[in-house]
Copies of this chain bind each other. A is one copy, B any other.
Amino acid sequence: MPLVRIDITGAKPEAYKRALLAGARLAVTSALGVPDSRVNIRVFEASPACVDVPACRTDRFTAVEVLLYEGRTPALKSAFISTLRDIYAENPGIEPSEVTIFFHDASVTDLSVLPGEAETH
Contacts and interface: CB of A to CB of B under 8 A. Distances in A.
A74 interface: yes
Q: Give this chain's copy count.
A: 3
Given A25-B52, A45-B50, A67 B102 contact: yes
A31 interface: no
Interface SS of A by simple majority:
mixed
Contacts of A118: 55-58, 95, 98
B42 A54 contact: no
Interface residues of A, number: 61
A56 B42 contact: no
Contacts of A52: 21-22, 24-25, 39-42
Q: Which interface residue of A1, A50, A117, A119 has the most chain B CB atoms within 10 A?
A: A50
